């Protein structure tokens, strides 16, 4: 919990001033950057306040801690480079307890108590869905990093956007060609028996059938389950591929028991890294994962062809080549998801600069500016890879990665293209009024 226990601003006056000075110098030498003029005419040097809804307690706390670390790193970088529109960024942290009721309360607090410019947050879908109606009513732009399909499905509102992480529908659908082509066509799915699992079930079933495969069994595990072996006999003998996705604190038990169940004769196994997020892949009992495949939002282990962006991102956040904390190699991050915080904050910066954001009166302009975004090339701002933002559905699309466990390391075996994850628009938020 070393970096998990901060409150309110992490920003020291000194670093802000240094950052501003450095950026002013850089801009002066560069001469004609559009920022120069704006920096000079920034009407206020008061910080831009971003309310950060954090899973500091509750079931999502393991994710929240790393979302916090990534957010701090991203904000530090933004401030070191001159802030946004010449103003420093200040993060206001509130714990949502991974609870939708508290999440909505915290959002109100950002809007009416802390007077934040925007809100930014969180992973668990129920917190996002519980909070989003309040964001719409309070007219507070709410940038979520949740990978749920709720934004693109049209359930939410014009003030809620997901520009930094792809959604589950896109992720799942883009996996089917690889699974059917390389692993097998008869798939047994094991997923948690709640909405997130049902999304996997429905989207993947459809996608694998389009590839000529079929789902031979669907095993939904009740939530809060802590032992799993008794469900595995429902896996049909004809299964060629196991598709698993689990979340929560019992994930390691789940994967271990899966290995113990099969012993030496396992089928191909394909899982979402959610089943092992924040867990060391070399934990005792996981040896059987050797040779199995994982979806990863962003490869946890640095690859042979590592980009400079990936390198810079790891260094800034403080994780090593195996995605673990630099200060404690056993402390594995939620690497496949937390990049979303970094990228979302950079989108916020770009959107605020494009709309010349000055204060809450410009919130609608900010949203329009983000809606106008399309291609987001791979860069230090977007280390996970190139992306396309869909302004109508408020959802970003990007590459997906499949890694194979090779000698205890996650080695990228396939990159699913942006197009593999595309689907028809289900909503046009730009048609809604502000």
Partner 1 sequence: MEFGPHLMLASLEGAVIAAILSLTAMGLSIVFGVMRVVNVAHGEFFMLGAVLAWYVTSALGGHPALGFVAALLIVPVLVAAIAATADRLILKRINYDADRTIVGTIGILYIIQQTTLMTFGPDARPVEAPFNTRLSLPWFEFGENGFAMFWPWGLSTTSYKLFVIAAAVVILLGLWMVITRTKIGLVMRATQQDSEMAQAFGVPVGTVYSLVFGLGAGLAALGAVLVVPIQQAHYLMGHDPLLLSFIVVIIGGLGSLPGTIVAAILIGMSDGIISVFFSPTIAKIIATLLVAMVLVFRPQGLLGKTAP
Partner 2 sequence: MTSSRKSTLLHLGVLALLVVLFFVLPPYHAGNLSRIMVLAIYAMGYNLLFGYTGLLSLGHAMFFAAGMYGFGLTLNLGGWPVPLAFVAGVVCAGALALVIGLLALRTAGVAFMIVTLMFAQTGYLVVLYFGTYTRGDEGFVIQQAQRMLGGFDLTSETGRYVTALILFAICFLGLARLVQTPFGRTLVAIRENEERTRMLGYDAGSHKLRALIISGAVSGVAGAAYALLFGYVGATFATVQYSIFPLLWVLLGGAGTTIGPLIGVFFMFYLIDTSSTYTNAYMLIAGVVLVLLTVFAPQGLAGELRKRVFKWLP
Which residues contribute to the site for partner 1 (CB under 8 A)? 1, 4-5, 57-59, 61-62, 64-65, 193, 219-222, 224-227, 229-235, 237, 249-253, 260-263, 265, 278-279, 283-285, 331
Tell me how many degrees the CA angle 269-274-280 measures, rounded to the nearest 5. 85
Q: Judged by CB under 8 A, which of 73, 89, 129, 241 binds partner 2? A: 129
Mention every residue, 6+ apart, whose C-beta is less than 8 A from residue 391: 370, 371, 372, 373, 374, 430
Order of strands across the sheet with 387-390? 375-376, 387-390, 395-398
- DSSP letter at 182 equals I
Least separation in angstroms between residue 224's CB and partner 1 is 6
Mention every residue, 6+ apart, whose C-beta is less than 8 A from residue 87: 42, 44, 45, 46, 47, 48
Tell me how many degrees the CA angle 272-274-280 measures, rounded to the nearest 5. 105
What are the tokens at 56? 């500091």
Q: Judged by CB under 8 A, which of 55, 77, 87, 150 binds partner 2? A: 150
95 interface partner picked from partner 2, partner 1, none, CB below 5 to 8 A per type: partner 2
Nearer to partner 2, 4 or 259 (CB): 4
434 interface partner picked from partner 1, partner 2, none, CB below 5 to 8 A per type: none
Distance of CA 47 to the CA centre of its chain: 25
137 interface partner picked from partner 2, partner 1, none, CB below 5 to 8 A per type: partner 2
226 interface partner picked from partner 2, partner 1, none, CB below 5 to 8 A per type: partner 1
Tokens 């689907």 appear where? Answer: 423
Phi–psi pair at 254, nearest 5 degrees: -55, -50
Rounded Cα distance between 167 and 149, Å, is 5
Task: Give residues 194-213 in contact with partner 2 (rule: CB under 8 A).
Answer: 194-196, 198
112 interface partner picked from partner 2, partner 1, none, CB below 5 to 8 A per type: partner 2
| Residue 121 binds partner 2, judged by CB under 8 A | no
Least separation in angstroms between residue 130's CB and partner 2 is 4
Interface with partner 2 (CB under 8 A): 4-7, 56-57, 94-95, 99-101, 104-105, 108-109, 112-113, 125-126, 129-130, 132-134, 136-137, 148, 150, 155-157, 193-196, 198, 222-223
């Amino acid at each position: 919990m070393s970096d998990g226990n901060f409150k309110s601003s992490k920003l020291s006056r000194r670093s802000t001033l240094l950052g501003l000075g450095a950026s002013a110098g850089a801009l002066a030498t560069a001469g004609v950057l559009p920022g120069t003029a704006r920096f000079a005419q920034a009407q206020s040097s008061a910080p831009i306040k971003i309310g950060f809804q954090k899973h500091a307690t509750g079931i999502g706390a393991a994710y929240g801690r790393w979302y916090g670390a990534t957010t701090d790193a991203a904000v530090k970088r933004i401030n070191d480079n001159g802030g946004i529109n010449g103003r420093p960024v200040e993060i206001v942290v509130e714990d949502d307890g991974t609870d939708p009721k508290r999440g909505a309360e915290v959002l109100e607090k950002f809007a009416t108590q802390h007077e934040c410019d925007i809100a930014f947050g969180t992973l668990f879908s129920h917190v996002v869905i519980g909070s989003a109606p309040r964001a719409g009513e309070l007219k507070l732009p709410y940038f979520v990093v949740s990978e749920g399909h709720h934004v693109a499905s049209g359930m939410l509102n014009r003030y809620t956007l997901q520009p930094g992480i792809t959604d589950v529908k896109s992720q799942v659908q883009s996996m089917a060609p690889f699974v059917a082509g390389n692993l097998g066509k008869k798939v047994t799915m094991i997923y948690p028996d709640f909405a997130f699992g049902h999304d996997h079930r429905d989207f993947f079933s459809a996608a694998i059938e389009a590839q000529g495969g079929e789902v031979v069994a669907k095993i939904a595990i009740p939530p809060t389950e802590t032992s799993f072996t008794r469900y595995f006999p429902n896996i049909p003998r004809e299964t060629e591929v196991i598709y698993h996705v689990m979340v929560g604190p019992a994930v390691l038990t789940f994967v271990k028991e899966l290995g113990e169940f099969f012993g030496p004769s396992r089928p191909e196994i394909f899982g979402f890294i959610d089943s092992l997020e924040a867990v060391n892949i070399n934990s005792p009992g996981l040896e059987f994962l050797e040779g199995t495949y994982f979806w990863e939002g962003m490869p946890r282990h640095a690859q042979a062809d590592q980009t400079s962006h990936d390198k810079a991102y790891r260094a800034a956040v403080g994780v090593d080549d195996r995605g673990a904390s630099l200060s404690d190699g056993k402390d594995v991050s939620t690497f496949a998801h937390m990049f979303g915080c970094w990228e979302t904050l950079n989108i916020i910066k770009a959107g605020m600069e494009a709309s010349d954001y000055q204060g809450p009166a410009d919130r609608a302009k900010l949203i329009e500016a983000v809606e106008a975004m399309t291609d987001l090339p791979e860069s230090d701002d977007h280390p996970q890879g190139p992306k396309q933002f869909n302004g109508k559905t408020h959802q970003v699309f990007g590459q997906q990665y499949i890694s194979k466990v090779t000698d205890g390391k996650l080695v990228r075996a396939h990159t699913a293209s942006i197009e593999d994850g595309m689907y028809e628009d289900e909503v046009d938020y730009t048609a809604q009024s502000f």
